[in-house]
């Protein structure tokens, strides 16, 4: 999909959380650029562990002390080439579910068919992979009257935070991203959010409904992540 064709489909994108069946619905038919939202109502604060390496002399004589660095050499991260997603995990919060495909309906809506998994939007962006030249788009449902055993994405907004890894298992291996930010955006403004729908190689944008127990939501929750190298 080239840049011109993307501008043609960018429209008002609205993700709706219904009280009983929180459907992820995106209308791609009117404006110019859909937008995503995130940022938990009570965002989890996660501080990544800092592990400075100390080097000490074993000799009492400074002039002859030998200092040996113990800094480990981490192996290069193995990233799979472009391929279809089959599962997704955020190890830091114990999130792990299958990934299936969904697409934009003829009426201009993104409406994944289930609650128990995440869906890659097959006709927006690209498949995940180390050589991805655009954004990979994911979507999933939350459910305002069911728990996370029914709708696992209910847990995302209260537990994800920048710095955590998103590991996507594909037909070719695994692709690892790092969360850079989360946002909460009014559904009516999703279409105008430049960050969500920008062309950005090696990026992951994961859209769901902002979760409120027992009631509808006017907001979306969006996770932004970049390919790790």
Q: What is the pLDDT, as a whole number, of residue 188?
A: 82
Flag whether 89 is in a domain.
yes
Flag whether 149 is in a domain.
yes
Q: What is the pLDDT of residues 199-219, one digit of tens each?
A: 999 999 999 988 777 777 889
CA distances from 229 to 47, 80, 128, 176 (A): 21, 12, 14, 9
Please give the tally of structural domains in the chain.
1
The pLDDT of 182-188, averaged and rounded, is 90
The pLDDT of 87-116, averaged and rounded, is 91
Residue 169 and residue 224: Cα distance in Å, rounded? 18
Between 220 and 223, the higher pLDDT residue: 223
Tell me the longest C-alpha to C-alpha distance in the chain. 78
Bridge partner residues of 178 (DSSP): 165, 226
Residues 6+ apart with CB under 8 A from 151: 22, 115, 116, 141, 142, 143
Whose tokens are 């193995």? That residue is 78
Tally helices (H) and strands (E) across the chain: 3, 8
Between 16 and 95, the higher pLDDT residue: 95
Flag whether 59 is in a domain.
no
Model confidence at 96, pLDDT cuts 50, 70, 90, reads very high
Q: Which residues of 42-67 are buried (b: 16+ CB within 10 A; e: fewer)?
A: ebeeeeeeeeeeeeeeeeeeeeeeee
Flag whether 209 is in a domain.
yes
Q: What is the pLDDT of residues 18-72, one digit of tens each?
A: 333 334 334 544 333 333 333 333 332 222 223 233 223 333 443 334 444 444 5
The pLDDT of 125-146, averaged and rounded, is 94
* Residue 144: CATH number of its domain: 2.40.260.10
Q: What is the pLDDT, as a whole number, of residue 77?
A: 84
Residue 56 and residue 22: Cα distance in Å, rounded? 57
Contact 40, 157 (CB under 8 A): yes
- Six token digits for residue 29: 């038919």
158 phi/psi in degrees, rounded to 5: -95, -5
Q: Is the pLDDT of residue 107 over 50?
A: yes
Flag whether 70 is in a domain.
no
Flag whether 81 is in a domain.
yes
Residue 35 and residue 27: Cα distance in Å, rounded? 11
Percent of the chain with pLDDT over 70: 67
Domain that holds residue 99: 3-44+76-227
Evaluated on CA atoms 126, 128, 131, 132, the torsion sign reads positive
Q: What is the pLDDT of residues 140-156, one digit of tens each?
A: 999 888 889 999 999 99
Average pLDDT score over the chain: 75
Q: Which residues of 1-19 are buried (b: 16+ CB within 10 A; e: fewer)?
A: eeeeebeeebbbbbbbbee
Flag whether 134 is in a domain.
yes
Flag whether 55 is in a domain.
no
What's the CA angle centered on 113, arms 111 and 114, to 5 degrees?
120
Give pTM, 2 decimals. 0.72
Maximum average pLDDT range among 66-70, 106-110, 158-162, 190-194: 158-162
- Six token digits for residue 202: 């090696």
């Amino acid at each position: 999909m080239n840049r011109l064709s993307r501008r043609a489909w960018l429209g008002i994108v609205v993700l709706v959380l219904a009280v009983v069946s929180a459907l992820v619905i995106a209308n791609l038919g009117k404006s110019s650029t859909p937008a995503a939202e995130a940022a938990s109502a009570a965002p989890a604060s996660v501080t990544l562990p800092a592990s400075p390496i100390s080097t000490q002399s074993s000799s009492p004589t400074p002039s002859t002390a030998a200092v040996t660095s113990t800094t480990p050499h981490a192996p290069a991260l193995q990233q799979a080439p472009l391929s279809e997603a089959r599962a997704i995990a955020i190890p830091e919060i114990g999130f792990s579910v299958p990934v299936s495909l969904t697409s934009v309906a003829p009426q201009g809506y993104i409406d994944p068919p289930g609650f128990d998994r995440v869906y890659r939007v097959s006709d927006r962006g690209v498949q995940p992979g180390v050589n991805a030249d655009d954004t990979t788009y994911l979507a999933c449902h939350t459910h305002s009257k069911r728990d996370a055993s029914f709708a696992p994405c209910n847990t995302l907004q209260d537990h994800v935070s920048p710095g955590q890894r998103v590991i996507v298992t594909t037909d070719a291996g695994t692709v690892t991203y790092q969360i850079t930010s989360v946002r909460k955006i009014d559904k009516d403004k999703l279409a105008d959010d430049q960050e969500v729908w920008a062309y950005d190689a090696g990026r992951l944008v994961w859209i769901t409904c902002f979760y409120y127990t027992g009631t509808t939501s006017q907001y979306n929750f969006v996770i932004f992540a970049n390919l790790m190298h």
